[in-house]
Amino acid sequence: MLVTPVWLDYNASLAKIVRIDLVLFHSPGSGSRSMSKKCVLAYSGGLDTSVILGWLQDEGYEVHAVYVDLGQPCEDRQAILDKARNCGAASSRIVDTREELCRDFAFPVLQWQAKYEGLYLLGTSIARPLIAKACLQVAREVGARAYAHGATGKGNDQCRFQLAAEALDANIQVIAPWRIERFRSAFPGRSEMIAYCERNQIPVKATVSKPYSSDENVLHISYEAGKLEDLNVNGVKIVEFGMTVSPEAAPDKSELVTVDFERGVPVAVNGKRLSALEIVTELNRIGGRHGIGRIDVVENRFVGMKSRGVYEAPGMTILYAAHRYVEQLTMDRDLMHLRDRLAPEVAEMVYYGFWYCPKFDALLAFIRDAQRTVTGSVTLEMYKGNLNVAARSSPNNLYDEAIATMEGGGSYNQTDAEGFLRIQGLPARVQARITPRAY
């Protein structure tokens, strides 16, 4: 076995591979396989990709396993690399994209206040185009022309992975085993895959006693499938959450947290300037102990069906709330309302997987300009799953107490409202004469 540490640095527009553990080896019996084709596998070490790794080798591929480090809070990275090695990967490596995920993917979506169907903060959706980019960089390095993933043919992730990959490399071959009949024949469901892993002593989280899957990164953890498909099951009761305590178990005393923003971007927590990753990590820790950011939703998948998911996102929930409070002070009304009308479309594009496209490029350029004045500080009070604003301030504060006060004085002349309303009401008065309404 040859173990070689490798350090690579790509240009600033691409993901930086800052840590790679590359393991080259020959698995028992590999001499009988013809490895004439190279493939990069987006490898999580979970149920699906653990099985797919072996299946791709049986299909004649030399498989390079890529674990994209997105800050998965509950996973043992070395154990995942060891698992890939033991299962026959030609190489296995970790690509650290945690800072990029927060800075270049999550924070622009935060600036949009984008939530899919009004609730979901898109923690999984945001990460998928970054995973595809990181895998294609490795494919370019090792000379692979195929990119494989473990997303099912029923879900959203297959769309996100493929749309991102093909937007970056039009010639890449995307292998989605769940869309291949012979793979489904061998593994018609999760129970068969779990049994396969048990027979082959491959450690995976999904078991018969814990029949749901999870997806983890620094932004959130999602839970779905298994018993969660039964809407009569209380999702937040059966899930073993990895980032948050239950609100009932949270402290009986509230806690304050202060977040600072510059141009719509979080820059500090409790007065300490931090990197994007550090901000999300610190707020996960603070919000997690107060049970912040749990939701249980039924959502509309891109492929047409409804699905049920349970999510926890303590840090991003705090950031969304704090960001909105700064905007309330600093953002022009018409600009905010325009952004709010477009935000559901942005959320939809992220959810569906249209990250790398001209329309989304333009929307990102718009929000950067729209957020120029969104600078300020917000203090939130956390208590047993709840968030309330305690204080807010901004050097660009558009709130003028002297104008807004209901007391006498100030620069606002209430007499001016007479003419304002006569003009605003003119169309209604004309309509009332021509087409009177019954009342």
Average pLDDT, integer, range 228-251: 95
CA distance to 61, 82, 179, per residue, from 24 (Å): 15, 11, 29
157 belongs to the catalytic site: yes
pLDDT band at 25 (very low <50, low <70, confident <90, very high): very low
C-alpha 324: how far from chain center: 19
* Residue 370 banded pLDDT, cuts 50, 70, 90: very high
Q: For residue 323, what pLDDT is reported?
A: 98
Does residue 13 surpass a pLDDT of 50? no
* Cα of 75 vs its chain's centroid, Å: 17
Catalytic residue among 69, 157, 260, 296: 157
DSSP state, residue 408: S
pLDDT of residue 24: 41
Q: Active site residue: 93, 98, 128, 294, which one?
A: 128
Q: How many other C-beta atoms are found inside a 10 Å radius of the C-beta of residue 424?
A: 10
Pick left, alpha or beta for residue 239 (phi over 0 → left; psi -120 to 50 → alpha; otherwise beta): beta
pLDDT band, residue 210 (cuts 50/70/90): low
Q: Which residues pair with 389 in a beta bridge?
A: 380
pLDDT value, residue 79: 85
- The tokens for 352 are 């569906």
Residue 427 lies in a domain: no
pLDDT of residue 215: 87
Residue 183 lies in a domain: yes
Q: Is there a catalytic annotation at residue 145?
A: no
**pLDDT exceeds cutoff 70 at 156:** yes
- Residue of 44, 50, 92, 213 marked active site: 213
Phi, psi of 171 (to 5 degrees): -100, 0
- What b/e string do you get for 39-73 counting C-beta neighbours within 10 Å, with b at 16 or more? bbbbbbbbbbbbbbbbbbbebebbbbbbbbbbbbb
Residue 12 has pLDDT above 70, yes or no: no
Q: Which residues contact 119 (CB under 8 A, 6 or more apart)?
A: 295, 297, 299
- Within a domain: 235: no
What average pLDDT does the structure give for the chain?
90
What pLDDT band is residue 405 in, cutting at 50, 70 and 90? confident
- 179 part of a folded domain: yes
For residues 208 and 280, the model is more confident at 280
- Tell me the one-letter amino acid at 172: I
Q: Is pLDDT above 50 for 291?
A: yes
State the average pLDDT over residues 241-248: 96
Given 48, 69, 96, 260, the catalytic residue: 48
CA 363 distance to own-chain centroid: 18
pLDDT mean over 81-108: 95
Tokens 């019954």, residue located: 438
215 has catalytic annotation? no
Q: Is 21 a catalytic residue?
A: no
Tokens for 242, please give them: 């990895």
As given in the structure block, the two tokens for residue 333 are 């009304």
Domain count for the chain, please give it: 1
pLDDT score, position 364: 98
d(CA 79, CA 363): 40
**What's the pTM?**
0.89
CB 58 within 8 A of CB 24: no
Tens of pLDDT, residue by residue over 304-314, are 999 999 999 99
Q: Are the C-beta atoms of 39 and 63 separated by less than 8 Å?
A: yes
Q: Residue 437: pLDDT above 60?
A: yes
> Residue 173's CB: how many other CB atoms inside 10 A?
15
Task: Compute the 3-state secondary structure of the chain and give helix, strand, coil in percent, each to the nearest 5.
Answer: 45, 20, 35
Q: Give the structural domain span for 44.
A: 2-211
What percentage of the chain has pLDDT greater than the value 70? 90
- The predicted pLDDT at position 430 comes to 97
Q: With beta carbons less than 8 A apart as the criterion, state whether 258 and 286 touch.
A: no
In a domain, 352, yes or no: no
CATH number at residue 46: 3.40.50.620
Residue 215, Cβ neighbours under 10 Å: how many?
A: 20
Helix (H) or strand (E) holding 306, with range, is: strand 306-312
Provide the pLDDT confidence category of residue 213 given band limits of 50, 70 and 90. confident
